[in-house]
A = this chain, B = another copy of it.
Amino acid sequence: MAVYTEIADEELERFLAGYELGALLSVKGIAEGVENSNYLIVTEAGPHILTLYEKRVDPTDLPFFIGLMEHLAARGLTCPQPVRNRAGEALGVLAGRPAAIVTFLEGMWIRRPRVEHCAQVGEALAQLHLAGEGFAIHRRNALSVDSWRPLFQRSEEGADTVLPELGAAILRELDHLEQNWPRDLPAGVIHADLFPDNVFFLKGHLSGLIDFYFACNDFLAYDVAIGLNAWCFEADGALNITKARALLAGYQRVRPLGADEIAALPLLARGSALRFLLTRLYDWLNVPPGALVAPKDPLEYWRKLRFHQSVDDAGAYGMDL
C-alpha cells in the first residue's frame, strides 16, 4: 500500500447508494497493492473490493483495465469482475479519485511458491492470453524496450550508489536489448505483472488472478518471461530449473509456444529483468517523504539479469529443445 486515501463517511455512503449492494456493514483498508488504495467493503450483498485509483494510474487507461476484467471474466477466467452502478457505469469518482468496485475473490497469494504452483501459474497465464483474444481496446506497453532508456536516465546519477559500476552495466544492457529486441512475435493482451501476490490459490488450486493495472498489448512470450522472473528464482538468487520447467510446461499445455518465441525467451527474460530493475531502482532512489511502503531491492533483478545474460538458449529454463 503506497498511498492510502481516507474516505469521508458520508461520501462513501453516497457513492455506494449508486449501487445495488444494500447497506454498508464494514470497510477496511487493505495493506496490499502498491499503486492504488484498496478497501475490503462488506455490504448486505456480501464482500467486495473498492479501489481508488491513485496518481500513478492514468485515468485514460481505466476503461481498458475495467473492460479487460469484464472481457476475461466473460470468457471464463477467474478474476475480479467490475460491478456496475444503477447508471450502468463501472467507474465512478470517490474522494476526488476514479473509483471502482469489483467482486471479491476467495483465495490467498502464496508467499513461498512451490513447483506445483508454478505449473498452475503457467497454465493460467496461457488461459489469460487466449481469453484476451478479441478484446477491442488496445493499450501500448508503456514499460517496454523503448521506455527503458529514458526511465534509466531518471536514475542514472544515483545508480552507482546502489552498486559500483551499475550504471555502465545497465547502459551496455540497454544497447544490447535495443539492438536485438524481437520485432515480430505473437502478440496480444498480457498481464505484465503476474507476481505471486497477484495470483490466488485455494486449497492448493489456483483460484484467480488479480491486479490488471499493468496489463497491455505486447508479445505473449514476454509475459512468460516475466513469469519466469517472478516465480522461478529462489531467495538466494538462483533459478530453480524445476519450477521454470513446470511453469513453461503448464503454459504449453494450454498454448504451445512457437519456435520463434522459444528462441527469444532468454532475451525477453533479460528485458523483463531489466524492466523491474529499472522501476525498482527509480523507486529506491526516490522514496517520497511520508511513503507508506518500503521500496523493493533493485539488486534482486540485477542478479536475475546477470543470470539471463549467461544463458544460451531456453534449455537453461528446462525447455526441451
Contact = CB atoms under 8 A, between A and B. Distances in A.
Given A9-B110, A292-B294, A294-B292, A4 B31 contact: yes
Contacts of A10: 112
Contacts of A25: 106-107, 202
Q: What class of interface size applies to chain A in its complex with B?
A: 20 to 34
Contact of A108 (B9, B106, B202): B9
Nearest to A1: B31
A79 to B, nearest CB: 15
A290 B4 CA distance: 17
A30 interface: yes
A62 interface: no
Given A112-B8, A294-B292, A28 B30 contact: yes
A296 B96 CA distance: 23
Interface in A1-57: 1, 4, 6-10, 23-32, 40, 42, 47
A203 interface: yes
Interface in A225-259: none
Contacts of A108: 9, 24, 26-27
Contacts of A7: 111
A26 B292 contact: no
Given A40-B40, A294-B292, A28 B32 contact: yes
Given A292-B292, A292-B293, A292-B294, A111 B9 contact: yes
A210 to B, nearest CB: 11
A111 B8 contact: yes
Contacts of A28: 28, 30-32, 40
A169 B230 CA distance: 55
A294 B6 CA distance: 14
Contacts of A6: 111
Nearest to A107: B26
A42 B27 CA distance: 15
A202 B30 CA distance: 20
A129 to B, nearest CB: 27
Contacts of A1: 31
Contacts of A23: 203
Given A40-B40, A290-B294, A26 B112 contact: no
Nearest to A287: B290
A31 B292 CA distance: 10
A-B interface, 4 closest residue pairs, ranked by CB to CB distance from nearest: A29-B31, A31-B31, A25-B106, A28-B30
Interface of A: 1, 4, 6-10, 23-32, 40, 42, 47, 104, 106-108, 110-112, 202-203, 290, 292-294
Given A23-B203, A25-B106, A26-B108, 20 more contacts: A1-B31, A4-B31, A7-B111, A8-B111, A8-B112, A9-B110, A9-B111, A10-B112, A25-B202, A26-B104, A26-B106, A28-B28, A28-B31, A28-B32, A28-B40, A29-B32, A30-B30, A40-B40, A42-B47, A47-B47
6 contacts: A6-B111, A8-B112, A9-B112, A24-B108, A26-B108, A292-B292
